[in-house]
């Protein structure tokens, strides 16, 4: 007997038929004698709809961006998972599986106070574990917990992955299976490169980079938690028949295992390509070149909750003034421009320029640590396709390149092929 967590994303629970299919996957594991905690997302599209309602309800007349009470945002957007957890418990009961739903506050899953992007602080799993002893399956609403203010808090978009890994750590699960609409982690998003290949294993570090650079198959925080707590995490498909051969294989289920680097025998130089659309670029012209300026610019942006990403600062020609370029999510551009407008006098710059419709394409691989020339290969391949590079950032195991959005697919496919990722 083992203890496992099974997480099902939005497309896997999109309607009652799919919820029934999910219940069959769960029943398979229950019949194998395992103790099971399930984490569910809202039905696909539901959270977007709820977020849209929040925006509509809180928009002041004439404003082109809105600031709303994040506690009420959480109250609204957490409701999608409440619905699917109850529905799945009902379907399981109808199939003769002993199950009950749990909302984040009932367990409780305690979070910090950062409403809308809360982090899990602690999970008291005692009651759930007691119920396992009675053969009960726990069906947990993902994406939500309870903050220090005793109010519902959500974990940021894609947060059910994090709920699942955190629950797995809290109950000491032997495995955490993230069921989704693809059958594993691929060398790049299979939706835009059909020649992408499924990886049997990927290291925590690489998965962390893939996720933070746009591969939304796992939420970044879930990978961090899996790495820190050593949770054995698989990404696998809920669309495969629940009784297909091998589906119940305990040690090697079909899918991708996220694991320590040293568990991977054949290391590639490049493991995957990720992309993020909807990036906007801001350039401040002729900023004073003196200590404290970067803090003066990025401090107020951070306070406004704006995530600044690539930052490029030129050397000033005269030692007095320089240009500063950085990217923010397109959805935050208006807010960022408003914040910078207010701080213009204290920072001191001549003009603000901005551009939208950009994308960031990234090459990821642990092998880059020990191989030279990986970046040069990317630059040459993109140039041959006539793709202009606006900005570049690098770390030990990744290269990120900012380009114009219409070239995203071409850039991803070009890089995927130039590093031989489409070959077996
Ligand atoms: P869920 O609703 O199950 O949480 P998501 O939509 O959040 O599912 O994540 C699954 C999606 O992630 C896939 O449909 C796929 O398009 C996308 N994706 C992006 N990059 C990758 C990748 N490298 N490997 C697999 N899927 C990826
Ligand atoms: N339903 C939430 C979202 O769409 C959480 C999740 O699906 O993981 O972001
Ligand atoms: Mg997801």
DSSP per-residue letters across 127-174: HHHHHHHTTPEEEEETTEEE-TTSSEEE--TTTHHHHHHHHHHHHT-S
**191 with 280, same domain?**
no
Q: Which of 261, 296, 317 is the last residue of a domain?
A: 261
**312 with 384, same domain?**
yes
| 3-state DSSP assignment of residue 212 | helix
Mutate which of 216, 233, 276 for ligand 1? The one with the most ligand atoms within 8 Å of its CB, which is 216
User: Could you tell me the two tokens for 353?
Assistant: 């320029």
CA–CA separation, 40 vs 22, rounded Å? 10
What's the distance, Cα to Cα, between the start and end of the chain in Å? 37
Which phi and psi angles does 147 have, rounded to 5°? -85, 175
Query: Is 333 touching ligand 1 by the criterion CB < 6 Å?
Result: no
Q: Relative to the CA of 80, which ligand 2 atom is closest?
A: 1
**208 with 295, same domain?**
no
Q: In this structure, is residue 267 part of a structural domain?
A: no
Which phi and psi angles does 245 have, rounded to 5°? -55, 140
Query: Is 42 touching ligand 1 by the criterion CB < 6 Å?
Result: no
C-alpha 300 to ligand 1 mean position (Å) = 33
**137 with 277, same domain?**
no
**342 with 236, same domain?**
no
Q: Residues with Cβ < 8 Å from 375, sequence gap 6 or more?
A: 363, 392, 394, 399
Domain count, the chain: 2
Residue nearest to atom 9 of ligand 1 (CA): 217
Q: What is the CATH number of the domain that holds 299?
A: 3.30.2130.10
Owning domain of residue 355: 272-418
**229 with 320, same domain?**
no
Each residue's pLDDT, cut to its tens digit, for the chain (424 residues) gives 899 999 999 999 999 999 999 999 999 999 999 999 999 999 999 999 999 999 999 988 777 667 789 999 999 999 999 999 999 999 999 999 999 999 999 999 999 999 999 999 999 999 999 999 999 999 999 999 999 999 999 999 999 999 999 999 999 999 999 999 999 999 999 999 999 999 999 999 999 999 999 999 999 999 999 999 999 999 999 999 999 999 999 989 999 999 999 998 877 899 999 999 999 999 999 998 888 889 999 999 999 889 999 999 888 777 788 899 999 999 999 999 999 999 888 888 899 999 999 999 999 999 999 888 999 999 999 999 999 999 999 999 999 999 999 999 999 999 999 999 998 6
**191 with 276, same domain?**
no
CA–CA separation, 121 vs 2, rounded Å? 26
Q: In this structure, is residue 15 part of a structural domain?
A: yes
**230 with 352, same domain?**
no
Q: In this structure, is residue 424 part of a structural domain?
A: no
CA–CA separation, 396 vs 367, rounded Å? 9
**177 with 150, same domain?**
yes
Query: Is 183 touching ligand 1 by the criterion CB < 6 Å?
Result: no
Q: Residues with Cβ < 8 Å from 242, sequence gap 6 or more?
A: 21, 24, 25, 27, 28
C-alpha 218 to ligand 3 mean position (Å) = 6
Q: Residues with Cβ < 8 Å from 78, sequence gap 6 or more?
A: 104, 141, 143, 144, 152, 154
Q: What is the CATH number of the domain that holds 97?
A: 3.40.1160.10
Q: How far is CA 163 from the centre of its chain?
A: 12
User: Could you tell me the two tokens for 8?
Assistant: 């099902």
Q: Relative to the CA of 161, which ligand 1 atom is closest?
A: 4
Which of 86, 45, 72, 83 lies closest to 153 in space, CA to CA? 72
Q: Which of 211, 230, 261 is the last residue of a domain?
A: 261
């Amino acid at each position: 007997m083992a203890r496992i967590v099974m997480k099902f994303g939005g497309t896997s629970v999109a309607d009652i038929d799919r919820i029934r299919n999910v219940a069959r996957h769960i029943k398979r594991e229950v019949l194998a004698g395992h103790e099971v905690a399930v984490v569910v997302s809202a039905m696909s599209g539901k959270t977007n709809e709820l977020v849209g309602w929040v925006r509509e309800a809180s928009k002041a007349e004439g404003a082109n961006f809105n600031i709303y009470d994040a506690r009420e945002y959480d109250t609204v957007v957490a409701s999608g998972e409440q619905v699917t957890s109850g529905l799945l418990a009902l379907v399981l009961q109808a199939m003769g599986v002993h199950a009950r739903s749990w909302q984040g506050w009932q367990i409780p899953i305690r979070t910090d106070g950062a409403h809308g992007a809360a982090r899990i602080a602690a999970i008291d799993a005692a009651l759930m574990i007691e119920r396992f002893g009675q053969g009960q399956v726990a069906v947990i609403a993902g994406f939500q917990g309870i903050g220090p203010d005793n109010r519902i808090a959500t974990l940021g978009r894609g947060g059910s992955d994090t709920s699942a890994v955190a629950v797995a750590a809290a109950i000491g699960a032997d495995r955490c299976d993230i069921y989704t609409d693809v059958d594993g982690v691929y060398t790049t998003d299979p939706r835009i490169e059909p020649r992408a290949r499924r990886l049997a294993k990927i290291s925590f570090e690489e998965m962390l980079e893939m996720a933070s650079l746009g591969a939304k198959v796992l939420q970044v925080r879930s990978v961090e938690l899996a790495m820190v707590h050593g949770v054995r995490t698989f990404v696998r498909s809920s669309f495969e028949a629940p009784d297909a051969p091998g589906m119940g294989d305990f040690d090697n289920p079909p899918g991708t295992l996220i694991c320590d680097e040293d568990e991977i025998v054949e290391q590639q130089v490049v493991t995957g390509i990720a992309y993020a659309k909807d990036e906007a670029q801001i350039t401040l012209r002729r900023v004073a070149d003196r200590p404290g300026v970067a803090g003066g610019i990025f401090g107020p942006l951070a306070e406004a909750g704006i995530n600044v990403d690539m930052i490029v600062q030129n050397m000033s020609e005269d030692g007095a003034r320089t240009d500063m370029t950085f990217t923010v999510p397109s959805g935050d551009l208006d807010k960022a421009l408003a914040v910078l407008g207010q701080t213009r006098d204290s920072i001191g710059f001549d003009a603000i320029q901005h551009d939208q419709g950009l994308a960031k394409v990234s090459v990821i691989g642990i092998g880059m640590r020990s191989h030279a020339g990986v970046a040069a290969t990317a630059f040459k391949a993109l140039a041959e396709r006539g793709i202009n590079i606006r900005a570049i950032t690098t770390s030990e195991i990744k290269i990120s390149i900012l380009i114009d959005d219409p070239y995203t697919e071409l850039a991803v496919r070009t890089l995927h092929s130039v590093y031989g990722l489409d070959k077996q």
